[in-house]
Amino acid sequence: MTEREAFSLTSRARSFGHAFRGIGRLLATQHNAWIHAATTAAVLGLALVLGLGRWEWVALLVAIAMVWVAEAFNTAIEQLCDRISPEHDLLIGHTKDVAAGGVLIAAGVAAIIGFLVLGPPLLAWIR
């Protein structure tokens, strides 16, 4: 077992730097992340226009975060699988499919939450 590094603000800042670099890599390399970014911007813009309440914002933000986290984990799993087994491997393929399925589930649930939260005030605003 290794001894833990002492806490320092410099090491914490480096950790945040690594995390931001990962987000940048996600956006730079994943086409689906571009779709998530556009959808996030549209949903947040619509929520602002509609003047949603606090709990509606909470529901939307949790749904948005769920999709982004799922996409980040999916990307990390895919990249790790590609490193471990660059050639086709059935079990690696199943692993990548399951990870992609997690993103699909998250996005589907987020869409339902979006319709439930944004639908009624949007219809009222249109009328």
CA distances from 6 to 1, 10, 11, 19, 38 (A): 15, 11, 9, 20, 41
Choose the catalytic residue: 56, 71, 78, 87: 71
Give the DSSP letter string of 29-91. Answer: H-HHHHHHHHHHHHHHHHHHHHT--HHHHHHHHHHHHHHHHHHHHHHHHHHHHHHH--S--HH
Tell me if residue 3 is catalytic: no
Q: Walk along the chain (127 residues) and give the pLDDT tens digit of each residue.
A: 567 778 888 888 899 999 999 999 999 999 999 999 999 999 999 999 999 999 999 999 999 999 999 999 999 999 999 999 999 999 999 999 999 999 999 999 999 999 999 999 999 998 8
CATH fold of 31-126? Helix Hairpins (1.10.287)
CA distances from 124 to 37, 39, 88, 127 (A): 27, 22, 52, 5
Contact (CB, 8 A) for 67 and 103: yes
Whether the predicted model's global pTM rises above the 0.75 cut: yes
